[in-house]
Structure 1
Amino acid sequence: MSQQQPPRMSEEFRDRMRAGLSTMAPHERLRERRRNRALVGGSAAAVVVIVGAVVAVQGVRGTLLQDEAAPPPPPMPSVAETLVPTPTPAPSATPSPQPTAPAATLEPGTVTPPPQETVEPDPTTPREAIVGELITGGPQPVAGELYDIAISCTSPQEVWIDDGGVPDDGTASWRTLLCGVDAAGFIDYAVPGTHARVFAQVAPGDPMPHVERRLHGGTFTAEQEAALRASGTSLVDAVVWCGTTTGTVSIGAATAECVPNEAAVIDDVESPDVLTQLAGPPGAKLWVILQLQ
C-alpha cells in the first residue's frame, strides 16, 4: 500500500505568502507562524495514525493466515479406548531387613539392680486379736474364797469374768461385760475364787481395761485406789443391782436403797469414787454398772 504524500505549495503561492508576511505586523506574523506549526504537527500526527492502522491490519491478517495454516487437533479417543484399564506397574521388590548386630552384653556387676520394693502393712487390715487374761491387781484368787472385782474401761471392748476354761466371751462361766457402749466400768461382788479371773480378746497395741481384785467385804489398798483413779475419770450414774438383798448402798455421802430385783441408782458421781468408795449391805452380792451420761 503506497503512503499518501501531503500536498505541496506552489511557487507562486509561496512567493505571495512571503510578500504578505513581510507586510504583517510582528504579532500577526507570530500568530501565522504558530498556525503553520500546528498545521504541520497535525499532518504529521495524521501520518502516524495511518501508518499504525496499516501495521495493525497487517498483524491481524498474518494471524488469520497462521490459523488457517495450523494442523487440525488430534481426534478424541473412542469409548472403547477410554475403558481399557491402564496396566499397573509390577511392585518393586522390598529389600529384606538386614540383621542388626546383637547388643553388647554387659559384664556381670556392671548394672545395679533396682531396690526391692518394701510392702508396708495395710493399716486397714484388721489385726488378729487374741484372748488373754487381763493383768489384775490384788490377791490371787483361791478356790473357796469370794472376791470383789473392779474393772475400769479404757476403750470399747468385751470382757468376761471366767474360770479360764472357755475360749471366748460367749460361754463365760460367770459374767460377760461390754465396755465403752454406755459403760465406763463395773464392780462385781462376791465372785467365787474359781471364777474370779478377767479375760478379753485384745489385738496388739489395744489399750487394756484396768482390773483390781480384793477379798469380798474388804477394802482396796491405797495403791489399788490410785491405780483405779489413774485409769480414767468420768461423770457417771452408779446403777447398783442388789438381787434379793435389801438395805442401803452409799458412795461417800450419796446413798440409795436397794429394792429386791430392782436397781438402786446414785446419779452424778465420779467413776473413781464408785470403784473405790461404794459400799452395800453386809454380805450383799452386788453388781454395779458405771453408766455413762
Structure 2
Amino acid sequence: MRTVIKEGWALVRIQFYIVIILFLYRLLWGVFLYRLVQSAVTPLLLRYPDQGHNELGQTLFWLESQIALMDNREVHIYLWLLLGATVLRILITPFIRAGIYQSLHTHTTEPQSLSFFRGMKRHGLSSMLYYIVELGLLLLPAIWVIPRLYPIAAGALQSPSYLLHILPYAVGWIAYGWFIRQCILYMQLGTVGGHTILSSLLAFFRQILPSVGISLSLGACVLLVFGLFGTVAMIWTGMLALILQQSYHFVTSLVRLWHISSQYQLWHSDISRG
C-alpha cells in the first residue's frame, strides 16, 4: 500500500496543474455559497431582537420570518440561484473527472494539458452517465433512512442524547457512499482505459483492502489538516484565518487527486497482472 501511495504522489507531481484547476473550481463554488448565505442570512440576523428585548419581540420576529418564507419572492430567487448553481456543478464535475482519468492513462504518452482537455472531450458524456448513476445510488438509501431518522430528530429537540441514535445510520451511509464511489471510479478508469466494466469491478474487489487502506490514510491526512487549520484559525483570527481557510481548499484538492492517482495505480497493477 505504501508503494502505491508513493506512486500516486509521483503522478500528482506530474499533473500538478490539475490541483490548481480543482482548487479554483472548489474556491469559486465556496465563494458563491458564502456570498449567497451572507446576502440572505446576514440581513435577517441583524433584525433579530437583542437580549434586552422581551419574548414578545422574539415571537414577532419568528412570525415575520415564517410569513416572509411563504410570501417573499426574494426567497424564491435565492432558491433558484442555488438550484441553478447545483445543476451547473453537476454538469461540470463529470467533465473534470474525465479529464483527470484520461490524463492518468496517458501521462507518459501525451502532453498533460492536451491530455486533460482531450479527456473532457472524449469521455465527458460517458462520465456524465456514470455521475448520474452515482448520484442516484448515493441518494437511494434516503428512501429507507429518512423515515427512520425523523422520529430521532424530533426526539433530539427535547433531548440531545437522541442524536447518538443517528450515528449508526450516518456511519452506514458513509461506508455505503465510499463503496459506490469506488465502484464507479474503477468502472470509469476501465472505460477510459479501454477495459470492460466487469474486469474493472473485479479488480476493485480483489484490491478492496488496499483500497480501503489508501482512503483511510489520505482521509486521516485531510482530517488532521482540517483540525490544525481550524485550531489555528480560532486562535489567530483575521487575515491568517482567512488565508488558512482558503488554503484548505488547496489541500483537499491535492489529497483528492492523490487519492485518485493512488487508486489508479492499484487498478493498473491489478489489470496488468490479469
Structure 1 and Structure 2 fold alike (TM over 0.5): no
Give the TM-score of the pair, scaled to structure 1.
Answer: 0.18
Of Structure 1 and Structure 2, the greater helix share is in 2
Larger fraction in strand:
1
Structure with greater contact order relative to length (CA < 8 Å, sep ≥ 6): 2
**TM-score, normalisation: structure 2:** 0.19
